[in-house]
Structure 1
Amino acid sequence: MIQKPPLSASPDTHADRFHAFDLLATLVAVVHIDGTVVFANAALEDVMGVSRRHIQGSTLSQYFTQAQSLESALQGAQSNAFAALRYDAHLRRPQQDALPVHVIVAPTDRPTEVLVELLPLEQQARQDREERLIDQAQANKELIRNLAHEIKNPLGGIRGAAQLLQMEVESRDLVEYTQVIIHEADRLQVLVDRLLAPHRRPHMVGDVNIHEVCERVRSLVLAEFSKGLRVVRDYDASIPEFRGDREQLIQAVLNIVHNAAQALVERTQAGDAEIILRTRINRQVTFGKQRYRLALELHVIDNGPGIPEEIKDRLFFPLVSGRDGGSGLGLNLAQTFVQQHHGLIECDSVPGRTDFKILIPLP
């Protein structure tokens, strides 16, 4: 016989018990094994577009296009047939399109209650993409560091041998050849030094005002691109200072903004090139496999042609560039510097609008 929730359990009592669920960005419902919703968190309330008082006491399966899947999952939870069951479904919402979600059904410490977590598939895909970015960045960092060290030693030998050879040869043509070797060795040395730069310089931590960072970058870019480019400020003045490396963050933001300015060359000539620097606070955000109460969002938005489709998935890889003559190091270094602040850079790009979003945890 199924035991119903006690009549004395008021919504306020449930709110006290499940208060922590309101701090989550994911959709959470605590359901009695007969399917009745005992508690719905604020995120589920927002997505459904109805109050939790309306959801609580109703049958959760009625909000799914295929109710039988959830009912079977609840029966399995009652019989302890699994530790957690996962499946994809569509969540019905009043006067809105159905929302594709990944459903996780898991027993709780009470035999009559089941925890149902709903992850919008778009959010799940975003989390998977972030994890791939972090793993790729770590692998790239190790590869670059090891490769740069392997190149550095023989490069010095090549340059030294070319200098000695230049001192011995008498032919003007041969001297020119040795000069080419020396010049190219020096160029590669500069490249190797840039690859190793993030790993050599110590992390200089201090109080950082993100708007001072933005203003420094803005002045540097406008000094170089003085005509035809507008850099718009859209700041949230309430963002607090945080601990970080100011110079690294200036370099990270500058690399992104400078890339945007170079991509806007045609619009600059037409006089309608625009870059927006937008700062916002994001609450209860998850990135980098961790959840943060507060995070800084810094957007660098331009009205340029967009990122070429063929490099979108490799944008932060070293030596990948969408511009002729580009080194392909700017975005990779920017990602490295931001990750040293436990943050992440994401990019969303279509023709006419490219948005680089820097996320950094706030205290």
Structure 2
Amino acid sequence: MKTTSVPLDGLDLLSSAVLILDAESRVAYANAAAENLLEASFKMLSSQTLGKLFLNGEELSDVIRQATANQFADKRLDLTLERHGREPLHVHVVVTALDRHDLPVLIELRENVQQLKLDREERLLDQSQVNKELIRNLAHEIKNPLGGIRGAAQLLEFELPERHLKELREYTQVIIKEADRLQTLVDRLLAPHKRPHIVGDVNIHEVCERVRSLIMAEFPHGLALKRDYDLSVPEFRGDKEQLIQAVLNITHNAAQALKERIAQGDAQITLQTRVARQVTLAKVRYRLALDLHIIDNGPGIPPEIRDRIFYPLVSGREGGSGLGLTLAQTFVQQHLGVIECESRPGCTDFRILIPLP
């Protein structure tokens, strides 16, 4: 990092990216955060026009010219930072006119968290729609042959000669039982699309308490399931059974991931409810939303599947069907909401957001 003769070392302590331009709109100062965000050294930044770093950089160049001419005190704009070989980065920029002829412009850059959130939600919705179509088509393609396989195995069992019935029946029973297992899997895949949406008044704390009682019955020792409720959360219209299933799927996954900590006696899951304000879901702005967190102190989601946990048949647990989170996301989206997840070793946080009246 380089600086002008003016002492600016204190700006290196800031987490936000700061640039100072000279009278010819060249970079005269860049703090460490700016070099990290723009992925360029001060030497590289000072040798090129700043606007060329952004996909919509002409707008920034115009604003810099206006700031240099002292036509405003500060101005804000959203830009897209071009990054070679990776997704562009949305950046919120504040351009401030300084009262100095040699250093007339200060620029502050921050990642545009709101835009990133909207993009992530849009990808989740698109992914969910593709998943639904894939699941529906795949399940119907599997369902018919399964019935034929099971029926043929039953007929074969009736035709077995008596002297070989006992030893060969074992094989026909394997076919029948595996066909039944696959049929159950197909039924679970189709369940969200076959079952009608039953709407009524939903108290989210009744949902949480039902889930809590089911989990504590299955894991009576070594697991603390804590409540952190905001009792001001209002009732809303929804399908109570679907929401119980969604919260149960997430909480049950968390409990199973805590197997080692349950054995040690220090496993913990927290059900937390809050009211979020001014929330954007699927590009629609809502004044209020349910903000439900299911937090566990387990090992975290493996990095290799973290971006795919809502895909069908993706599981981080041996023997898992990989359908629990897919169904949970589907049920929440039917309530115009979304499920988000942040995970690291020692803390996994599933967040359910649903619009409130």
SS at match of 1:293: strand
Instruction: Answer yes or no: is the 8 Å Cα contact 1:87–1:104 preserved in 2.
Output: no
Is the counterpart of residue 269 in structure 1 residue 259 in structure 2? no
SS at match of 1:133: helix
Instruction: Answer yes or no: is the 8 Å Cα contact 1:88–1:103 preserved in 2.
Output: no
Match 1:87 to one of 66, 71, 79? 79
SS at match of 2:141: helix
Match 2:91 to one of 78, 101, 111? 101
- Provide, for residues 102-145 of structure 1, a one-character-per-residue CA deviation record: whole Å limited to 9, x for no partner: 4599xxxxxxxxxxxx9842332222111101100111011101
Give 1:88 deviation, angstroms: 4.3
| Matching residue of 2:140 | 149
| Matching residue of 2:175 | 181
Amino acid at match of 1:168: E
Give 1:286 deviation, angstroms: 1.0
Match 2:122 to one of 118, 122, 131? 131
SS at match of 2:147: helix
- How many angstroms apart in 2 are the aligned matches of 1:101 and 1:140? 31
Give 1:177 deviation, angstroms: 1.5
SS at match of 1:312: helix
| Matching residue of 2:296 | 302
- Provide, for residues 249-293 of structure 1, a one-character-per-residue CA deviation record: whole Å limited to 9, x for no partner: 000000000110111111111111110100011111112221111
| Matching residue of 1:169 | 160
| Matching residue of 1:311 | 305
Runs of 4+ in 1 over 3 A off after TM superposition: 67-71, 73-76, 102-105
Match 2:231 to one of 227, 237, 245? 237
| Matching residue of 2:253 | 259
SS at match of 1:325: coil
- How many angstroms apart in 2 are the aligned matches of 1:275 and 1:153? 41
- How many angstroms apart in 2 are the aligned matches of 1:325 and 1:245? 29
Is the counterpart of residue 72 in structure 1 residue 62 in structure 2? yes
Is the counterpart of residue 361 in structure 1 residue 338 in structure 2? no
Unaligned runs of 5+ in 2: 1-56, 67-76, 82-89, 96-108
- How many angstroms apart in 1 are the aligned matches of 2:177 and 2:329? 30
Give 1:73 deviation, angstroms: 4.2
- Provide, for residues 279-324 of structure 1, a one-character-per-residue CA deviation record: whole Å limited to 9, x for no partner: 0111111122211111100000000000001110110011111001
Match 2:345 to one of 328, 346, 351? 351
Give the superposed CA RMSD: 2.3
- How many angstroms apart in 2 are the aligned matches of 1:68 and 1:319? 46
Is the counterpart of residue 191 in structure 1 residue 198 in structure 2? no
- How many angstroms apart in 2 are the aligned matches of 1:362 and 1:245? 14
| Matching residue of 1:201 | 195
| Matching residue of 1:29 | none
- How many angstroms apart in 1 are the aligned matches of 2:302 and 2:333? 24
- How many angstroms apart in 2 are the aligned matches of 1:351 and 1:102? 31
- Provide, for residues 222-267 of structure 1, a one-character-per-residue CA deviation record: whole Å limited to 9, x for no partner: 0110001111111111110000000000000000001101111111
Is the counterpart of residue 214 in structure 1 residue 208 in structure 2? yes
| Matching residue of 1:283 | 277
Amino acid at match of 2:126: D
- Provide, for residues 32-63 of structure 1, a one-character-per-residue CA deviation record: whole Å limited to 9, x for no partner: xxxxxxxxxxxxxxxxxxxxxxxxxxxxxxxx
Match 2:324 to one of 330, 336, 359? 330
Give 1:334 deviation, angstroms: 0.4
Instruction: Answer yes or no: is the 8 Å Cα contact 2:78–2:91 preserved in 1.
Output: no
When residues 206 and 68 of structure 1 are mapped into structure 2, their CA distance, relative to the original with a 3 A threshold, is closer
When residues 281 and 86 of structure 1 are mapped into structure 2, their CA distance, relative to the original with a 3 A threshold, is closer
- How many angstroms apart in 2 are the aligned matches of 1:329 and 1:227? 27
Instruction: Answer yes or no: is the 8 Å Cα contact 2:281–2:336 preserved in 1.
Output: no
SS at match of 2:214: helix
SS at match of 1:301: strand
When residues 86 and 303 of structure 1 are mapped into structure 2, their CA distance, relative to the original with a 3 A threshold, is closer
Instruction: Answer yes or no: is the 8 Å Cα contact 2:192–2:330 preserved in 1.
Output: yes
- How many angstroms apart in 1 are the aligned matches of 2:78 and 2:255? 45
How high is the sequence identity, in percent, across the aligned residues? Answer: 72
Give 1:69 deviation, angstroms: 6.1
SS at match of 2:250: helix
When residues 68 and 185 of structure 1 are mapped into structure 2, their CA distance, relative to the original with a 3 A threshold, is closer
When residues 129 and 164 of structure 1 are mapped into structure 2, their CA distance, relative to the original with a 3 A threshold, is same
Unaligned runs of 5+ in 1: 1-66, 77-84, 90-99, 106-117
